[in-house]
Amino acid sequence: MKSRIAGIAVTVLTILGIIGIRTIFHPCEGEMPMVCNYSTESSFRILVLIFTLNALRVYAGDVKHDFIFDITNIIAGIEIVYSCHAERCQVLSMNCNTRTCPFLSVVALLIAAFSIVSILISIINGRRLENGNSE
- Percent of the chain scored above 70 by pLDDT? 81
Does 134 score more than 80 pLDDT?
no
Q: How far apart are CA 70 and CA 115, in angstroms?
A: 5
Report pLDDT digits (tens) over 13-48: 999 999 998 888 877 776 666 777 788 888 899 999
Q: What is the pTM of this model?
A: 0.82
Q: How far apart are CA 116 and CA 65, in angstroms?
A: 15
Report pLDDT digits (tens) over 52-70: 988 887 787 666 777 888 8
Neighbours of 132 (CB within 10 A): 6
Q: How far apart are CA 123 and CA 118, in angstroms?
A: 9
Cα 37 from chain centroid (whole Å): 19
